[in-house]
């Protein structure tokens, strides 16, 4: 519990004013709710034996006043708690999302996108999860605890013997909740795992919808989802059955206490050992005790459930951001240098070397093409050159300065990177090109689209759906190209960006690029001969190492694998 509270504490501090208002209204509600039966007993007693209209009138007015305040507080309290739940959920989600965006590549290798989405949505917003616990889950037991304390205290002043008899079932309710705490935690945890699996299946199917349709795998995906949903339904049913059983048992035990009060309390009234007003107040207090005991007992279970979700969010916070310096500008005419750079991917016990001590210098204004068989390490080398991946050893430099010495924003403005997969976001073409970066205007976006040969394809205000649905592969590639060009970076790192372009468009792009950025230093991976032909040098990679280099014409003559590559294309 301490760990959960410590995690919530910064968010509670941030919303201290709103939570203080919830506490104030809670105290007002407790006071009016516990006073109401106690005051009402005076009305009954005033009218029972020797009616006193004046006294009765006073107590009736008091009841009306207390009742009005009670109903007002009971109306405001759920609304205020819900508002704080929502605001705290927003704070938590924004804080986590902001952190995640700063983490390095290792974090995103550990977590699937569907799992991240589940943690940022269902773990926060679902029933009895973090959003609910942040305010309602904590304030409800506080309210129940004080209500129980005041109610039992007033019951003792009315008749201590009857109080002891009435509360006898309550410890048993607490015992049942404590004994079933582990079972409840297991049920809710299984429901969470089933929910996460459902989201994974949906995210995978929709992300790869073209593959699903292309391979006529709709029924296979349907079966996967059906299997995941069956597991989820089973988990949901277990939670519902368990909770219903415990609530019913709690209500049954409370009714035992009520029967004790009716029979014993009625006998006390008959024997004049307590007044009818005392009997009414006692019954009113007892009828609400089961709910307070249930709320208090459920608090410990809900804390365990919240702890499970908190652990999942804390696990997401365990990522580490890449270390960047504070330099902002590269020296004029700097080269892009890869100095003895190595990198490998590790999955369980299998290690794959993607870059093996690669040293390469791309001179200012030079265009260098990387070619080679599939899986030779071209994309990895480009990610290293762009500063997206940190090398295991060696370093990448802009001139004499290591790329990690630049700030993240400075690196992004100096190196325009276009990955092999043309990723587009929901929003207009303008938003996709500028990414809301400072200093990049709509005019810059138009110029970049022109260079990418996309100026006559669509207007800047055209809306693009997630992933670029509705656009051709070539259109998506050109918008992604324009994104890199819009900031006019001195270094361009391009991963097979012309693969989706026809020959005429490919040639036009290189002409326009030379016109727009004549001094740009370009490193490009390609399988296209037209791109290799316009490059100043061509590097042949195999198994993460440089095997041959030269001009396009030289390699055609000297290296048969190079000739075969373009013969296939």
What pLDDT does residue 345 have?
Answer: 79
Whether 539 has a pLDDT exceeding 90, the answer reads yes
What pLDDT does residue 339 have?
Answer: 93
Cα 225 from Cα 220, distance rounded (Å)? 9
Q: Between the CA of residue 230 and those of 199, 224, 233, 531, what are the distances in Å?
A: 14, 10, 5, 52
What mean pLDDT is predicted for residues 82-106?
88
What pLDDT does residue 502 have?
Answer: 84
Rg of the chain (C-alpha set): 35
Cβ neighbours around 9 below 10 Å, total: 10
| pLDDT tier, 177 (very low <50, low <70, confident <90, very high otherwise) | low
Cα 105 from Cα 388, distance rounded (Å)? 8
457 with 468: CB under 8 angstroms?
A: no
To the nearest 10°, the Cα dihedral for 179, 181, 183, 188?
170
Cα 144 from Cα 222, distance rounded (Å)? 46
Name every residue whose Cβ is closer than 8 Å to that of residue 46 and which is 6 or more positions away in sequence.
Answer: 52, 55, 56, 59
CATH of segment(s) 336-418+489-568 = 3.40.50.300
Ordered DSSP codes for 292-325: HHHHHHHHHHHHHHHHHHHHHHHHHTT--PPP--
Least confident interval from 121-125, 165-169, 562-566:
165-169
Cα 159 from Cα 182, distance rounded (Å)? 38
Q: What is the largest CA-CA distance in the chain?
A: 121
CATH of segment(s) 2-316 = 1.20.1560.10
Whether 94 has a pLDDT exceeding 80, the answer reads yes
Mean pLDDT is highest, among 208-212, 257-261, 474-478, for: 474-478
Whether 215 has a pLDDT exceeding 80, the answer reads no
What pLDDT does residue 265 have?
Answer: 76
What pLDDT does residue 160 have?
Answer: 80
436: left (phi over 0), alpha (psi -120 to 50) or beta: left
Least confident interval from 38-52, 181-195, 221-235, 543-557:
38-52
Cβ neighbours around 159 below 10 Å, total: 20
Per-residue pLDDT tens for 505-526?
Answer: 889 999 999 999 999 999 999 9
At residue 98, what are phi and psi to the nearest 5 degrees?
-60, -40
Residue at token pair 């105290």: 27
| pLDDT tier, 178 (very low <50, low <70, confident <90, very high otherwise) | low
Calculate what percentage of the chain has a pLDDT beyond 70.
Answer: 92
Strand segments, DSSP code E, in 390-544 are 393-398, 401-402, 415-418, 427-428, 463-464, 491-495, 521-525, 537-542
Whether 469 has a pLDDT exceeding 80, the answer reads no
What pLDDT does residue 20 have?
Answer: 93
Residue at token pair 């107040």: 281
Per-residue pLDDT tens for 6-53?
Answer: 999 999 999 999 999 999 998 888 888 887 777 777 767 666 656 666
Residue ranges, CATH 3.40.50.300, the chain:
336-418+489-568
Residue ranges, CATH 1.20.1560.10, the chain:
2-316
Q: Choose between 306 and 95: higher pLDDT.
A: 95
372 with 566: CB under 8 angstroms?
A: no
Residue at token pair 């005033």: 46
Per-residue pLDDT tens for 294-328?
Answer: 777 778 777 877 887 888 888 888 877 777 788 88
Whether 346 has a pLDDT exceeding 80, the answer reads no
Residue at token pair 């909740």: 177
Long-range pairs of 316-320 with CB within 8 A, sequence gap ≥ 24: 316/96, 316/99, 316/100, 316/111, 316/116, 316/119, 317/96, 317/99, 319/99, 319/100, 319/103, 319/104, 319/106, 319/107, 319/110, 320/103, 320/104, 320/106, 320/107
| pLDDT tier, 146 (very low <50, low <70, confident <90, very high otherwise) | confident
Per-residue pLDDT tens for 481-509?
Answer: 999 999 999 999 999 888 888 888 889 99
Q: Choose between 219 and 48: higher pLDDT.
A: 219
Name every residue whose Cβ is closer than 8 Å to that of residue 242 and which is 6 or more positions away in sequence.
Answer: 180, 183, 184, 187
Per-residue pLDDT tens for 365-419?
Answer: 999 999 988 888 899 999 999 988 888 899 999 988 999 899 888 888 899 999 8
Q: What is the mean pLDDT of the chain?
A: 83
Q: Is the dihedral of CA 46, 52, 54, 55 positive or negative?
A: negative
Residue at token pair 């390469």: 360
Residue at token pair 């700063």: 102
120 with 315: CB under 8 angstroms?
A: no
Q: With residue 229 as reference, give the H or E element that holds it.
A: helix 218-260
Whether 569 has a pLDDT exceeding 60, the answer reads no
Whether 231 has a pLDDT exceeding 70, the answer reads yes
β-pairing, 491-495 vs 463-464, is unpaired
- For 317-405, where are the alpha helices, taking DSSP H only? 378-385
What pLDDT does residue 444 have?
Answer: 92
């Amino acid at each position: 519990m301490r760990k959960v509270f410590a995690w919530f504490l910064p968010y509670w501090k941030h919303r201290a004013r709103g939570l203080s208002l919830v506490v104030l209204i809670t105290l007002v509600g407790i006071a009016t709710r516990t006073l109401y039966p106690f005051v009402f007993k005076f009305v009954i007693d005033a009218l029972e034996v020797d009616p006193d209209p004046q006294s009765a009138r006073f107590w009736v007015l008091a009841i009306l006043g207390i009742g009005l305040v009670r109903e007002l507080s009971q109306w405001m309290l759920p609304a205020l708690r819900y508002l704080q739940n929502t605001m705290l959920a927003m704070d938590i989600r924004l804080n986590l999302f902001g952190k995640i965006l700063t983490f390095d590549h290792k974090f995103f290798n550990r977590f699937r996108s569907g799992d991240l989405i589940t943690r940022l949505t269902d773990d926060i917003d679902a029933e009895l999860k973090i959003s609910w616990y942040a305010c309602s889950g904590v304030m409800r037991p506080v309210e129940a605890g004080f209500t129980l304390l005041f109610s039992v205290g007033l019951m003792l002043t009315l008749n201590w013997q009857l109080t002891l008899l009435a509360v006898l079932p309550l410890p048993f309710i607490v015992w049942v909740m404590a004994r079933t705490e582990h079972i409840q935690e297991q049920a809710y945890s299984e429901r969470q795992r089933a929910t996460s699996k459902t989201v994974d299946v949906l995210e995978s199917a929709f992300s790869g919808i073209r593959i699903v349709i292309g391979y006529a795998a709709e029924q296979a995906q349907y079966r996967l989802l059906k299997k995941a949903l069956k597991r989820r339904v089973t988990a949901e049913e277990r939670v519902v059955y368990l909770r219903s059983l415990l609530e019913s048992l709690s209500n049954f035990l409370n009714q035992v206490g009520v029967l004790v009060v009716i029979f014993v309390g009625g006998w006390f009234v008959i024997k004049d050992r307590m007044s009818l007003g005392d009997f009414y107040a006692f019954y009113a207090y007892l009828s609400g005790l089961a709910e307070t005991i249930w709320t208090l007992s459920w608090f410990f279970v809900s804390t365990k459930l919240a702890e499970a979700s908190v652990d999942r969010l804390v696990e997401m916070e365990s990522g580490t951001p890449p270390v960047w310096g504070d330099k902002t500008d590269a020296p004029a005419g700097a080269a892009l240098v890869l100095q003895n750079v190595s990198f490998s991917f590790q999955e369980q016990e299998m290690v794959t070397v993607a870059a093996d001590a690669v040293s390469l210098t791309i001179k200012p204004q030079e265009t260098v093409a990387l070619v080679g068989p599939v899986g030779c390490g071209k994309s990895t080398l480009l990610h290293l050159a762009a500063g997206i991946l940190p090398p295991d050893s060696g370093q990448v430099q802009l001139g004499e300065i290591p790329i990690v010495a630049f700030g993240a924003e400075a690196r992004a403005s100096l190196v325009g990177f276009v990955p092999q997969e043309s990723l587009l976001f929901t929003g207009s073409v303008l938003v996709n090109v500028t990414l809301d970066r400072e200093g990049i205007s709509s005019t810059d976006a138009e110029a970049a689209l022109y260079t990418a040969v996309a100026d006559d394809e669509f207007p800047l205000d055209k809306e693009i759906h997630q992933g670029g649905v509705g656009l051709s592969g070539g259109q998506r590639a050109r918008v992604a190209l324009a994104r890199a060009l819009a900031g006019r970076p001195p270094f361009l790192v391009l991963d097979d960006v012309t693969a989706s372009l026809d020959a005429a468009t490919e040639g036009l792009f290189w002409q326009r690029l030379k016109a727009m950025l004549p001094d740009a230093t370009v490193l490009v991976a390609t399988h296209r001969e037209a791109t290799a032909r316009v490059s100043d040098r061509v590097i042949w990679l195999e198994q993460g190492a440089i095997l041959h280099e030269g001009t396009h014409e030289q390699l055609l003559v000297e290296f048969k694998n190079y000739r075969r590559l373009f013969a296939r294309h």
